Amino acid sequence: MKVTIDGITVDVEPGTSILNAARQIGGDIVPPAMCYYSKLAGSGGKCRTCLVKVTKGSEKDPRPMPKLVASCRTGVMDGMEVQNITSPEVIEARKGVVEMLLINHPLDCPVCDQAGECHLQDLGFEHGAAKTRYEFDRRTFEKIDIGDKIQLHMTRCILCYRCVFTADQITNTRLHGILNRGDHSEISTYISKAVDNDFSGNMIDVCPVGALTDKTFRFKNRVWFTKPVEAHRDCDKCCGKVTLWYKGEDVIRVTGRKDVYGEVEEFICNTCRFDKKKTADWVIEGPRKVSHQSVISANHYEFTPLPVVKTNPVLMEANKEQFERETRL
């Protein structure tokens, strides 16, 4: 079925969400997503950053949708027309969502371990306001050890629920979830419990902000001073495909390989993540490709400007309009 997003038409499979249809086009018309994670069933719809305007429902029923919809949880219909960055209403709503997300999120990027890899930082830069209008005390929490290798700092949490879905779906036991309601909600383990299974480290990778951090890496370096390298090893528990983060000759962090939307390609086990920190443990594949827009690429790689649309000949033909748009909107 055909769907048109910001004037660009693409063919997608039935059942595709608007967000994933936009991802097939790529570039700057892809709505941001803080809570949606394609590898986690049931995720999405909560953070409201991916709101879009459906100006035409479908060929059969062309009526526009009355409200903005969460693109990650709304399926496309044949002939649907969607506005993302071309809708002032969407941009305004997204600005509001960013403001809400930042109400209780400390702007301590200079000391936060996630700085440089933080989706909220990117979102705030692209859609946020220069100043906050919130003048009240922020919500704060004590740090919690939810496992011997993972530190939870709820103060930074934006309650995207990704880590809860991860723990539910790729591990055997349910040990943590949401406590309380409203802005008192918090992620926590059940009393006296710790998330200690072999795949718990993936909760760190799915966290879009710095709420869940790797205790073996915390405060050891800034991400833009490290060199990411793709590597693999034979592992009996996971795929063994990882990114090694070097400081000089030392591996100081191991993570899953992430795609252009910040989602890990395959989840990895805790042994690979926490216990294999020597180059000799790995087969090195080569430097990791990093977007020129990422702070991680600073001083490391040469780059060419990111094309607005992925280099797919079919899309290029279909999307002349976007190619004519030389600058980012």
Partner 1 sequence: MGRKLLLEHINVPGINTFDVYRSKGGYASVEKALKTMSPEAIVEEVKKSGLRGRGGAGFPTGMKWSFLAKPEGVARYLVCNGDESEPGTFKDRYLMTYIPHLLIEGMIVASFALGANTSYIYLRGEMMPQVRILERAIAEAKAKGFLGKNILGTGYDLELYVQPGGGAYICGEETALLESLEGKRGNPRIKPPFPAIAGLYGCPTVVNNVESIAAVVPIINEGGDEYAKIGIGRSTGTKLISAGGNLKKPGVYEIELGVPVEEFIYSDEYCGGIANGKRLKAVVAGGSSVPILPANLILKTINNEARLMSYESLSDGGFVSGTMLGSGGFIAYDEDACIVRNTWNFARFYHHESCGQCSPCREGTGWMEKVLHRLEYGHGKMSDMDLLVDVSKKIEGNTICPLGDAAAWPVASAIRHFRDEFEWHVTNASEATSRNYGLAHYADPLKVVETA
**Which spans of this chain sit near partner 1 (rule: CB under 8 A)?**
44-49, 51, 67-68, 70, 73, 75, 93, 96-97, 99-101, 103-104, 133-134, 136, 158-159, 161, 178, 180-185
Number of Cα atoms under 13 Å in the Cβ half of residue 290: 25
Nearer to partner 1, 136 or 219 (CB): 136
Q: Shortest distance, CB of residue 200 to partner 1, whole angstroms?
A: 22
Q: What region, left, alpha or beta, does residue 161 occupy, with left being phi > 0 and alpha being psi -120 to 50 degrees?
A: left
Q: What region, left, alpha or beta, does residue 50 occupy, with left being phi > 0 and alpha being psi -120 to 50 degrees?
A: alpha
Q: Shortest distance, CB of residue 49 to partner 1, whole angstroms?
A: 8
Nearer to partner 1, 138 or 320 (CB): 138
What per-residue string of b and e applies to 111-141 under the rule 16 or more CB within 10 Å gives b? ebbbbbbbbbbbbbeebbeeeeeeeeeebee
Nearer to partner 1, 160 or 272 (CB): 160
Q: What region, left, alpha or beta, does residue 72 occupy, with left being phi > 0 and alpha being psi -120 to 50 degrees?
A: alpha
Q: Shortest distance, CB of residue 64 to partner 1, whole angstroms?
A: 13
Specify burial of residue 76 (Cβ count, 10 A radius: 0-12, 13-18, 19+): buried
Q: Shortest distance, CB of residue 320 to partner 1, whole angstroms?
A: 33
Nearer to partner 1, 5 or 158 (CB): 158
Q: Which two tokens stand for residue 289?
A: 């490709």
Handedness of CA 179, 184, 185, 191 (dihedral sign): negative
Q: Shortest CA distance to 265 belongs to which of 239, 244, 295?
A: 239
Q: Shortest distance, CB of residue 120 to partner 1, whole angstroms?
A: 11
Nearer to partner 1, 147 or 210 (CB): 210
- What are the DSSP calls for 137-177, one per residue? PPP----EESSSSEEE-GGG-----HHHHHHHHHSSS--EE
Q: Shortest distance, CB of residue 81 to partner 1, whole angstroms?
A: 19
Instruction: Give the integer Cα–Cα distance in Å for 275 and 185.
Output: 33
Q: How many helices (H) and strands (E) does the chain have?
A: 8, 14
Q: Shortest distance, CB of residue 183 to partner 1, whole angstroms?
A: 5
Q: Which two tokens stand for residue 232?
A: 């693999």
Nearer to partner 1, 103 or 239 (CB): 103
- In the block, tokens 């219909």 appear at 77
Instruction: Give the integer Cα–Cα distance in Å for 178 and 167.
Output: 12
Nearer to partner 1, 180 or 327 (CB): 180
Q: Shortest distance, CB of residue 208 to partner 1, whole angstroms?
A: 12
Nearer to partner 1, 1 or 254 (CB): 1
Nearer to partner 1, 68 or 242 (CB): 68
Residue type, 284: I
Q: Shortest distance, CB of residue 199 to partner 1, whole angstroms?
A: 24
- Length, in residues, of the chain: 329
